[in-house]
Amino acid sequence: MAVSELTDKEYMEWEPGYYRASIALDSREMLIEQQAEKIERNLRLLGATGIEDKLQEGVKATIANLSLGGMNIWVLTGDKLETAQNIGLSCGLIQPDMPTLVISEGSPEKTRDRLRSYISDICSSHCAIKIALIVSGQSLGYLLKDMMDIEFFFLASRCSCVICCRCSPMQKAAVVKLIQNYCDGATLAVGDGANDVAMIQAADVGVGICGEEGMQASLAADYSISQFRFLGRLLFVHGAISYHRTTKTILYFFYKTMCETIILFLYSNWSLSSETAVFDSWSIVFYNMFFSSWPPLAVGIWDRLFSFGIMEQYPGLYVLSQRGQTFNLKLFFLWIADGVLHAFVIFFVVYYTFEQGVVWSHGREANMRCFGTAMNIALVLTVNIKAAIEMDSHTIMSVVAIGGSLVMMFIYLFSYCLTSPSKPLVVVDPEMADIVLDILNSPAILLSIILSSVVAISIDVLFKVLQRLLYRNVKDEVLSKEFASGRKFDVLSDSFFKMRDFMVRTSESALSLVNHPQKSHGYAFSQDEGATVPQSDLVRIYDSRRPKQAGSPMEGERSYRYPDISLKSPKSPFQEHFWEEDRSFKSDNRSTTPPSSSEDESP
């Protein structure tokens, strides 16, 4: 800002020419600039102004957590090189003492020479240090073609962070595709503007931030968040839990299907490859429909390895899923082998019990249907107990799912008691009539059912105990600390407490603003982190609805909101009481009473 003093004579000589220039029909802007140059001379400097493009709240902490979670972070921005470098420093991607490699050349030959010189320096250096790489948009265009993309990715993969500045939307998408071509991992793109749409759509997972830049990125993305800091919860909590639930549901489905299939195979081999199934047809249908379908649903909906707070507190737990420790070929074949082992235990325990001969007091001897029903009960009981011991958090709904599956099986079996060969109420196999009563009246059959389930489950329990005692990992350590603190048991009714908090609301007069801060939606780059007075309240100090006279000082237009802002955060109940009295006193002595409106009370 600068100033120049004009006399009345100078102004009167200059003003007609400026007026003619302002109303000219042709070349108006050029004529106005010519007139302005006549007086914009010998100026006296008053000061300078600047606009700071501040980061959102929690960006630095979120990026640090993403790095701890084993993710490589690339920044693709349209800002110039100096701005991009400063943003990297402010968000913690670039440390002050970190070596920085800059590729900002004007020709393909110079870009190739600079790239190869950096690669040779890194290959010759044997010390493991963190390096930052900054690439300009013009050089990036050269690196993405002419067979330099492989060398560029080799260099970028050796750097701890990569910043590409002055990028066009197509260049952002090209960088994402470059990573997909030469990297086995998945790509996630985060953007908040229309120039990020191509990048978001090219990535495996697109996340859009809705806010100041519009809704184009959010509409084109797979997920939408309001602030960048919510990306940590999206990945470390919701993403990790979704992956954990999906993988465990898949493994359990293969396990329970393998159990039933191997039992049918063993019976077919025992019966000399006859076409007769050991289970009746309805039991085979209801096994996957009712008897074993609810536990995997409970696992896929309510199960979680850690509590939400622990998963946000320890971002390194996200590495468990990245390294495939919760789902891999070894774990898959272990579940398959477990299903085969359980099938062998169930079949042969029940088989050798019936081989000894089972005869009831009424003279009836156990037949094939009794043998198959006993084995079916042992199978359903085993797979449901297996689901219970494999769940990492037992909620009310998971208990209902497991118990409901067993109840539905017994309801199905007892329905046969309503039938008899002479007066059938339901068209069923006559051999199944009163079969469950005969099983309950035989201690040997009941013992075989219980023994087969106990032996099968004991193998899994013993394996888990030995694994946690001899081969403890990070997951076991965190679980031990969580159980020791008593926080793990909160998940039993966590969803119901959330529902209760949603249904029951407390009046605002009973809420403390210190203990329950107001939630903010959206963001502002100029908002200070942890500020006492939000930026939105500072803007509303002045009442924009009241007409202002030209040249009136802003202090004279102070809004009636200012006392509410200054008295917004009482430090104690005593201060809250006196502040309320002071507020009422000032409201009674105001010269102007503002009109009551719902807009005034909106946050």
User: pLDDT per residue over 118-140, tens digit each?
Assistant: 999 888 877 678 899 999 999 99
Residue 247, marked binder: no
Q: Is 172 annotated as a binding residue?
A: yes
The pLDDT assigned to 432 comes to: 66
Q: How many CA atoms lie within 13 A of 304 on its CB side?
A: 24
| pLDDT beyond 60 at 24 | yes
- The annotation status of 288 as a binding-site residue, yes or no, is no
| Cα gap 365→367, rounded to integer Å | 6
Measured between alpha carbons, how far is 208 from 200 in angstroms, rounded to an integer? Answer: 8
Say if residues 32 and 22 touch (Cβ distance below 8 Å). yes
Is 441 assigned a ligand-binding role in the annotation?
Answer: no
Write out the H or E segment, with its range, that includes residue 133.
Answer: strand 132-135
Tell whether 257 is in a known binding site.
no
Q: Please name the amino acid found at residue 243.
A: Y
Q: 204 lies in a domain?
A: no
Q: Which of 440, 467, 494 is the last residue of a domain?
A: 494
549 and 467, same domain (yes or no): no
Q: How many C-beta neighbours within 10 Å does residue 532 have?
A: 10
Query: What's the confidence (pLDDT) of residue 365?
Result: 66
Strand partners, 208: 191, 224
The answer as to whether 178 is a domain residue is yes
Question: DSSP 3-state assignment of 190?
Answer: strand
pLDDT band at 51 (very low <50, low <70, confident <90, very high): confident
pLDDT at 364: 61
Q: Is residue 53 part of a domain?
A: no
Are 360 and 310 contained in the same domain? yes
- CB-facing half-sphere around the CA of 404: CA atoms within 13 A: 14
Structure tokens at 247: 């993988």
389 and 428 belong to one structural domain: yes
On average, the pLDDT of the chain sits at: 78
- Measured between alpha carbons, how far is 196 from 200 in angstroms, rounded to an integer? 6
The tokens for 68 are: 């701890």
- Domain boundary residue, one of 126, 155, 185: 185
- At residue 43, the pLDDT reads 86
Residues 239 and 314 both lie in one domain: yes
pLDDT of residue 566: 37
Report the C-alpha gap between 143 and 150 in whole angstroms: 9
Question: Do strands 2-3 and 44-45 pair parallel, antiparallel, or not at all (unpaired)?
Answer: antiparallel
User: Comparing 496 with 480, which gets the higher pLDDT?
Assistant: 480
Spacing of C-alpha 291 from chain mean position: 32
Name the residue with higher pLDDT: 117 or 441.
Answer: 117
Residue 408 maps to a domain: yes
Tell me the longest C-alpha to C-alpha distance in the chain. 132
pLDDT of 281: 83
- So what's the pLDDT on residue 501? 39
Q: Of the candidates 357, 350, 342, which has an alpha carbon nearest to the alpha carbon of residue 372? A: 350
- Choice among 530-534, 539-543, 545-549, 555-559 with the minimum mean pLDDT: 555-559
Residue 545 lies in domain:
537-588
Q: Is 470 within a domain?
A: yes
Supply the CATH number for residue 153's domain. Answer: 3.40.50
Could you tell me how many residues make up the chain? 603
pLDDT exceeds 60 at position 222: yes
Mean pLDDT of 354-374: 73
Query: Same domain, yes or no, for 312 and 410?
Result: yes
What are the b/e assignments for 575-597, b being 16+ CB within 10 Å?
eeeebeeeeeeeeeeeeeeeeee
Give yes or no: residues 411 and 268 share one domain. yes
- Answer yes or no: do 411 and 383 share one domain: yes
Summarised one tens digit per residue, pLDDT across range 251-262 is: 999 999 999 999
Statement: residue 410 has pLDDT above 80:
yes
Report residue 171: phi and psi, to 5°: -70, -35
Helices (H) then strands (E): counts for the chain: 26, 9
Q: How many angstroms separate the CA atoms of 162 and 172, rounded?
A: 13
Q: What is the number of domains present in the chain?
A: 4
Q: State the residue for tokens 């809704």.
A: 215
550-590 confidence digits (pLDDT tens): 444 444 443 333 334 333 444 444 344 434 444 443 444 44
Determine the pLDDT at residue 486: 62
Annotated binding-site residue? 192? yes
Determine the Cα–Cα distance for residues 278 and 346; give it in Å rounded to an integer.
13
Do 358 and 399 lie in a common domain?
yes
Handedness of CA 238, 241, 244, 250 (dihedral sign): negative
Identify whether residues 362 and 486 lie together within a single domain: yes
Residue 84 corresponds to which amino acid? A
391 belongs to a structural domain: yes
For residue 583, the model assigns a pLDDT of 44
Q: Which two tokens stand for residue 85?
A: 């470098």
pLDDT of residue 270: 84
Same-domain status, 116 and 180 = yes
Same structural domain, 423 and 552:
no
161: helix, coil or strand? strand
Q: 20-34, 83-97, 254-268, 576-590: which has the minimum mean pLDDT?
A: 576-590
- Residue 166 is labelled as binding a ligand: yes
User: Do residues 424 and 314 share a domain?
Assistant: yes
Q: Which helix (H) or strand (E) holds 530?
A: none
Q: How far apart are CA 420 and CA 437, in angstroms?
A: 13
DSSP 225: E
Question: Does residue 213 belong to any structural domain of this protein?
Answer: no
| Domain finish residue from 163, 185, 207 | 185
Tell me if 240 sits within 8 A of 223, measured CB to CB. no
- The answer to whether 79 is a known ligand-binding residue is yes
Q: Rounded to the nearest 5 degrees, what angle is found at the Cα of 500, between the Cα atoms of 498 and 502? A: 70
Let me know if residue 376 belongs to a domain.
yes
